[in-house]
Amino acid sequence: MSKKTLIIAEKPSVATDISRALGGFEKKADYFENDEYVLSSAVGHLLELHEPEQYEVKRGKWSFTHLPVIPPHFDLRPIEKSQSRLKVLEKLIHRKDIGHLINACDAGREGELIFRYIVQHARVHHPISRLWLQSMTPAAIREAFEQLRSDADMQPLADAARCRSEADWLIGINGTRAMTAFNSRDGGFFLTTVGRVQTPTLTIVVEREEQIRKFVARDYWEVRAEFACAAGTYEGRWFDPGFQRSESDPELRAERLWNEQRARDIVTACEGKRGRVSEESKPSTQLSPLLFDLTSLQREANSRFGFSAKATLALAQALYERHKVLTYPRTDSRALPEDYVSVVVKTMQMLSGGKAGGKHRQEAAPLRPFAPHARRVLDQGWVKPNRRVFDNSKISDHFAIVPTLQEPGHLSEPELKLYDMVVRRFLAVFFPAAEYLVTTRITEVESHSFKTDGRILVEPGWLAVYGREAQDAQASLVPVEAGETVRTASIGATALQTRPPARYTEATLLSAMEGAGKLVDDDDLRAAMAGKGLGTPATRAAIIEGLIAERYLVRDGRDLHPTAKAFQLLTLLRGLGVEELTAPELTGEWEHKLAQMERGALKRSSFMREIAKMARHIVERAKSYQSDTVPGDYATMQTPCPKCGGTVQENYRRFACTKCDFSLPKHPASRTFEYEEVEQLLRDRTIGPLTGFRSKIGRPFAAVLKISPEFKLEFDFGNSAGDDESPAPDFSGQTSLGTCPKCGGRVFEMPMAYVCENAVGPSKSCDFRSGRVILQQTIAPDQMHKLLSEGRTDLLRDFVSNRTRRKFAARLAREPDGSIAFKFEPRAPRAAKGAPPPSQPPADDAAPAQARPAKSARRPTPPKVPRTKSAPTPRRAHAKSSRAAVPAPAQTVKPAAIPKKAAGKAAAAATRARGVAKKTSSTASSGVVRRPSATSEKKKPQRRTA
């Protein structure tokens, strides 16, 4: 029996393109096959590095005893969400008729790594060839198959790929465990994550915040005048013609006056006087922006629509995978292959409402805004070879993001916004440059110069795609005849102040990450980072989201603010002398050496020895540091010590009184205090509930913090009022939030829960209690009022699953028995095969609304912070999900609307969903969400807590 060749692509869409290019394949369930080839694909990375079992240390047990972690080899473990695809590939690889493998993963370091890990995990030794695809046109694919590369030729690239992966693991694991061990010396477990890309990215934001905090505003003045001429009036601003920029003082400007009296003297000298005019006009052109790569797409979407980088990636991925209207989005290229000209012409025909054959048809509604521009491009013949657009040398693994030949169908509003952005950029890049007439007018009055700038759009060019039209010359600047003198109609001095640098938004942070190589002084390292920066287009969004998830950064509108935890980390790394983790030079050095390795000029073993040495150095610096504190720029609290009235001063580990023994830990239960929270705690002796605490095993929880009568910090989980022996709280000064759904009593707010007045004290007769924080989602008083009065809350989007750590959205709803249940947004019915995709709801950073909440956290064990005597476990502040919280379908799919076989499946699925939905509801009373049994109407369900 002749042996077949197994082709493994990186993603299903590429496998489909290959099958069409080669032809003759029969589609199977998870692969294609013909007489010569079996063709399948991964779905990105299927495996990840994992330390050998003997090196594994449980979370919460990290200490210097087990460091550094430098295993002699690495194991691989499947990524949970991709296990099914890995099993498909393993089964195909081990088929008896397979005797040769072709690596058709993306042409680059990561594509090489994906394939090598699959082969390593499968433990086979078939001959291997490499398909190197730079373009996905059928002709380019067939040509690449004629030029397969040998396995030996690809070994240097494979070595570089493995080294990058293993080096990131070694530095990340050893750095994180060493810093965590250092910060946990006083007891407890304070997770402190570091990484080669994560930490320099955080440093960029922290250093900007430090500049803002240290910034001192300076007063300056500007003088502006209005001049009258025969044709009208125009404005001019005073400037110093002899001004030269100063590197030592970047705030100096030609138009700024730093002395108020001088500004007033200029006003007095010029007021009512006549002046001479000279001006220069010259043409100027502006080219269209380049095509989008992922980073520029994320920047633009954040600036225009406020989309987070994560949301933009999810939308682009949906437009690529589900709707098939955009090309692959995870790219760092802004050019197209040189053989893509004919594909662009066909795409323009599609956008114009015509077909490849030439006849026009009625364009689809989403295409109507683009049709006139696409027709103009075709009529003018503007699609032609152009190195600015078509350039193989500017393409790495993938080309720029452009529309495909697929017409858009039902797109959600956010998807349509993103599609519109990509299509307009695609159209604009083929239009001619915009042409301006730029005029600079200088008006001299009493030896003082005033500048006026005018810019007239003469020919819109590519700006026409965005709705711009040519301007009348007088729309910008009124004309002044030759030799005409003008009169100073009005003049005044305006007092202004310099402003601090702007905080980073996701758009500007993405730019900073992309251009991080500019921050590197060494020429070789800067060259190595050219075009790369920190992270990759595919990982930058995850890096930012990871920093937010770890509470290093918080979003405030569109701005990103570093937290106290972020400043603490930078203080630690600087104090320990491991600044290499904070600077982009580390990435530059790695990229320089990995590039040498790809050329065969550096051995893998040499590089990994250097990485192991660096890991040991980081651990040793943290381990050998003996001082109780770390040098840093620490704050002095405004609120006095609650014990003696002295000054409370921050140090590395605590907020401590300078006169007595009172102090507060800075990181109770792995959560770092912000300065404002410390001030409130000192002033009110209580704060909360606060979220973000973690137990030793990593379970999140929420709690109120109090300073006890003994001046110790305590957790209060708010259940003391529910004890039989505790007196009932006094609600006389509070306003009721509503009527108890169980007994008709009044419901009031307490520190950690909303409780019925009859559910507290020795004579309690009711058990209604609902947490103020459920699965890290704060339930505001107005939402509890809405729940009690209307039966359900608004859609709340910040629940976080304890199992997956992912956000999900749900409503809280009142059940007939008075319990509180999660209610999920209806899940859209799945369309039949071949049917147009349904419209999707707006993308959100949260998980889909139908995501299941995880089980409640077990009782956390905060490190070395005593609890109040009556403090129960915080589990009652969390929600426990049903094991299969399946929301009811939005509608019943009618069998007539879909093929017979699919109709049967849909009907069965709908029946099952109705059955589950009937059973599925959950109580959030006491912060616990449950699923009652099928007999809940007859028998009151038993309450269970996690």
Active site residues: 328
Q: What gap in Å lies between CA 16 and CA 41, rounded to an integer?
A: 9
CB 53 within 8 A of CB 22: no
Two tokens, residue 696: 């030793």
Pairing of strands 700-707, 686-694: antiparallel
DSSP secondary structure, 810-871, as one string = EEEEE-TTS-EEEEPPPBPPPPPTTSPPPPPPPP-SSPPTTPPPPPPPPPP--TT-PBPTT-
Indicate if the alpha-carbon torsion angle 220, 505, 249, 445 is positive or negative. Answer: negative
Q: What gap in Å lies between CA 772 and CA 733, rounded to an integer?
A: 20
Instruction: State the SS3 of 706-764.
Output: EECCCCCEEEECCCHHHCCCCCCCCCCCCCCCEECCCCCCEEEECCCEEEEHHHCCCCC
Task: With CA atoms as reference, report the closest residue to 428 among 537, 300, 295.
Answer: 300
Reported as type and span, the H/E element at residue 189 is none
Q: What gap in Å lies between CA 86 and CA 81, rounded to an integer?
A: 10
Partner residues linked to 822 by β-bridges? 812
Q: What gap in Å lies between CA 262 and CA 197, rounded to an integer?
A: 50
Two tokens, residue 119: 């082969």
Q: What gap in Å lies between CA 44 and CA 55, rounded to an integer?
A: 27
Question: Rounded to the nearest 5 degrees, what angle is found at the Cα of 533, between the Cα atoms of 531 and 536?
Answer: 90
Q: What is the dihedral of CA 581, 583, 587, 592, to 10 degrees?
A: -120
Partner residues linked to 412 by β-bridges? none
Name residue 748's amino acid: F
CB 90 within 8 A of CB 122: yes
Strands (E), 75-201: 75-78, 98-104, 128-130, 149-150
C-alpha to C-alpha distances, 116 to 113, 343, 524, 855, nearest whole angstrom:
5, 33, 30, 37
Reported as type and span, the H/E element at residue 500 is none
CB 158 within 8 A of CB 165: no
Residue 294: Cβ within 10 Å count: 26
Name residue 515's amino acid: G
CB 439 within 8 A of CB 456: yes
CB-based contacts of 828-836 (< 8 A; 24+ apart in sequence):
828/890, 829/889, 829/890, 829/891, 829/893, 829/906, 829/910, 830/906, 830/909, 831/898, 832/897, 832/898, 832/899, 832/902, 832/903, 832/906, 833/899, 833/902, 835/898, 836/409, 836/410
Two tokens, residue 428: 């604009």
Overall residue count recorded for the chain in this entry: 946
CB 308 within 8 A of CB 302: yes
Task: With CA atoms as reference, report the closest residue to 564 among 699, 704, 678, 713.
Answer: 678
- The contacts of residue 6 (CB under 8 Å, 6+ apart) are 37, 38, 39, 40, 92, 93, 95, 98, 100, 101, 102, 126
Name residue 261's amino acid: Q
Task: With CA atoms as reference, report the closest residue to 631 among 651, 649, 617, 657.
Answer: 651
